[in-house]
Amino acid sequence: MPARAQRMAHTPYAIDTLREDAEWAGSGACLEIRIPSTADTLVTGLREEFQGLHGRGIDVRVHTDHRVEGNCGRTPNAPMGHISGGMQ
Protein backbone atom coordinates (compact mmCIF):
# COMPACT_ATOMS: atom_id res chain seq x y z
CA MET A 1 0.00 0.00 0.00
CA PRO A 2 1.50 3.38 -0.97
CA ALA A 3 2.45 5.78 1.76
CA ARG A 4 2.20 8.73 -0.61
CA ALA A 5 1.29 9.31 -4.21
CA GLN A 6 1.02 12.75 -5.68
CA ARG A 7 1.85 15.06 -8.54
CA MET A 8 4.32 17.80 -7.69
CA ALA A 9 6.68 20.34 -9.12
CA HIS A 10 10.40 19.59 -9.29
CA THR A 11 11.51 21.89 -6.47
CA PRO A 12 13.98 21.49 -3.59
CA TYR A 13 11.01 21.39 -1.18
CA ALA A 14 9.31 18.59 -3.12
CA ILE A 15 12.54 16.58 -3.22
CA ASP A 16 13.07 17.04 0.52
CA THR A 17 9.48 16.00 1.21
CA LEU A 18 9.80 12.81 -0.84
CA ARG A 19 13.15 12.00 0.78
CA GLU A 20 11.73 12.48 4.28
CA ASP A 21 8.68 10.36 3.47
CA ALA A 22 10.87 7.57 2.09
CA GLU A 23 13.11 7.70 5.18
CA TRP A 24 10.02 7.55 7.40
CA ALA A 25 8.78 4.47 5.48
CA GLY A 26 12.12 2.84 6.31
CA SER A 27 14.16 -0.07 5.07
CA GLY A 28 12.37 -2.17 2.46
CA ALA A 29 10.43 0.79 1.09
CA CYS A 30 10.40 1.66 -2.59
CA LEU A 31 10.34 5.24 -3.89
CA GLU A 32 9.14 5.38 -7.47
CA ILE A 33 9.30 8.67 -9.34
CA ARG A 34 7.69 8.94 -12.75
CA ILE A 35 8.42 11.98 -14.88
CA PRO A 36 7.03 13.08 -18.24
CA SER A 37 8.61 11.36 -21.21
CA THR A 38 9.55 14.83 -22.44
CA ALA A 39 11.81 15.35 -19.38
CA ASP A 40 14.51 12.70 -19.98
CA THR A 41 17.22 15.03 -18.70
CA LEU A 42 15.69 15.00 -15.20
CA VAL A 43 16.15 11.24 -14.74
CA THR A 44 19.87 11.37 -13.94
CA GLY A 45 19.53 14.41 -11.68
CA LEU A 46 16.69 12.86 -9.69
CA ARG A 47 18.55 9.57 -9.32
CA GLU A 48 21.51 11.50 -7.92
CA GLU A 49 19.25 13.43 -5.52
CA PHE A 50 17.96 10.21 -3.96
CA GLN A 51 21.06 7.98 -4.17
CA GLY A 52 21.64 8.24 -0.40
CA LEU A 53 18.41 6.34 0.24
CA HIS A 54 19.93 3.13 -1.14
CA GLY A 55 22.23 3.00 1.90
CA ARG A 56 19.13 3.02 4.12
CA GLY A 57 17.66 -0.01 2.35
CA ILE A 58 15.20 2.02 0.26
CA ASP A 59 14.82 1.10 -3.41
CA VAL A 60 14.67 4.20 -5.64
CA ARG A 61 13.32 4.02 -9.17
CA VAL A 62 13.23 7.05 -11.47
CA HIS A 63 11.92 6.69 -14.99
CA THR A 64 9.94 8.44 -17.70
CA ASP A 65 6.28 7.64 -18.22
CA HIS A 66 4.05 8.93 -21.01
CA ARG A 67 1.04 8.67 -18.65
CA VAL A 68 2.36 11.64 -16.63
CA GLU A 69 1.73 14.01 -19.56
CA GLY A 70 -0.92 16.69 -19.38
CA ASN A 71 -2.32 19.01 -16.80
CA CYS A 72 -5.24 17.20 -15.09
CA GLY A 73 -5.91 20.42 -13.18
CA ARG A 74 -2.46 20.36 -11.57
CA THR A 75 1.07 21.34 -12.46
CA PRO A 76 1.65 20.26 -16.07
CA ASN A 77 4.52 17.87 -16.74
CA ALA A 78 5.26 17.50 -13.04
CA PRO A 79 6.95 14.41 -11.61
CA MET A 80 4.90 11.94 -9.62
CA GLY A 81 6.29 10.34 -6.49
CA HIS A 82 5.07 7.10 -4.96
CA ILE A 83 6.39 5.34 -1.84
CA SER A 84 5.39 1.82 -0.95
CA GLY A 85 6.35 -0.86 1.56
CA GLY A 86 8.85 -0.37 4.33
CA MET A 87 8.48 -0.57 8.08
CA GLN A 88 5.62 1.67 9.17
CA distance 88 to 84: 10
Domain that holds residue 73: 2-85
We report the CATH number of the domain holding residue 7 as 3.30.1330
Q: Give the chain's domain count.
A: 1
Q: What is the 3-state secondary structure (H, E, C) of 1-62?
A: CEEEEEECCCCHHHHHHHHHHHHHHCCCEEEEEEECCCCHHHHHHHHHHCHHHHHHCCEEEE
Give the C-alpha separation, 7 to 30, whole Å. Answer: 17
**pLDDT tens column, 25-61:** 999 999 888 888 777 778 888 899 999 999 999 999 9
Residue 80 has pLDDT above 90, yes or no: no
